[in-house]
Amino acid sequence: QVQLVESGGGLVERGGSQKLSCVASKRPASTYAVGWFRQAPGKEREFVAAIRYTGGSQLYSDSVRGRFIISIDTLQNTAYLQMNTMKPEDTAVYYCNYRAFWSGRSWDYWGQGTQVTVAT
């Protein structure tokens, strides 16, 4: 099974920057997109950013657009999330996601999550 491991979380000051990484044990079959999601206490998991596995096209939630940058190094099977100008509301557990499509449906692979806390 594909395993995703996030790292880079921790405490960051308001307005600061933090970079998360997500290393996949191997490329999931038929992967077409990679994304980052987050979940704050008492809230549902929400979409943050996504990028096509082939690179280029990116999507961002309104809350992070202009502040966060998603990227992927397919050779190293590693996805990144550069977070800038961080706000307290960015505090959450961040999860890496690889999405593949085969057998007529999407298949999602998730990391264990990494805690990001923005100090007030």
- Position of tokens 């995703």? 4
Q: How far is CA 113 from CA 3, 77, 82, 105, in A?
A: 12, 17, 16, 24
| pLDDT, mean of residues 101-109 | 92
Question: Are 72 and 51 contacting, i.e. CB atoms less than 8 angstroms apart?
Answer: yes
pLDDT tens by residue, 61-74: 999 999 999 999 98
pLDDT tens by residue, 10-34: 999 999 999 999 999 987 778 899 9
Closest CA to 98 of 64, 68, 72, 65: 72
Per-residue pLDDT, 14: 97
